[in-house]
Amino acid sequence: MQVMVIMKATRSSEAGVMPSQEDMARMIRFNEEMVAAGILKSADGLKPSRFGKRVRFLQGGGTAVTDGPFGATRELIAGYWVWEVKSMDEALEWVKRCPDPMPGEEAEIEIRPFFGPEDFGAEFTPELQERVEEMHRAVEPR
């Protein structure tokens, strides 16, 4: 199963405080362990929300754009991983091994499974599934 592991933002991450060399080295070691185990598919950190934009799709059509920063720091994302694991329990065990992502602050990591074709029912026809698979093949790193 594929999961997205979401590192929630903190006051420091939203302020643009960068990790120390030691903290980066710990996280890189952890990422290297996941690569060796074959579960890490993608990972990146995100800049603070002041660099972002939100687009709201309005009822009846049209869009509204809001420039960052955005409030409610606990609801923002500071970084993510995409993992291929056997189960949610395995993902949870890896998260428990993770170095403290925000030393000196309370941090939170959320684990969310991706949808699979079976989750969509009959509406996700074989033809639509093939189009999605073609798209995935086209964007896979070579």
For the stretch 15-30, pLDDT in tens is 999 999 999 999 999 9
Task: Read off the pTM.
Answer: 0.90
SS3 79: strand
For the stretch 34-58, pLDDT in tens is 999 999 999 999 999 999 999 999 9
Q: What is the mean pLDDT of residues 83-88?
A: 98
Q: Report the percent of the chain where pLDDT is more than 70.
A: 99
Residue 42 confidence (pLDDT): 95
- Reported residue count of the chain is 142
Question: Encoding tokens for residue 63?
Answer: 């869009």
Question: Encoding tokens for residue 25?
Answer: 């080295």
Give the integer Cα–Cα distance in Å for 76 and 14: 9
Residue 142 confidence (pLDDT): 61
Average pLDDT, the chain: 95
Judge whether 13 and 72 are in contact, CB under 8 Å: no
SS3 34: helix
Q: What is the mean pLDDT of residues 77-98?
A: 98
C-beta neighbour count of 78 within 10 angstroms: 23
Give the integer Cα–Cα distance in Å for 4 and 88: 11
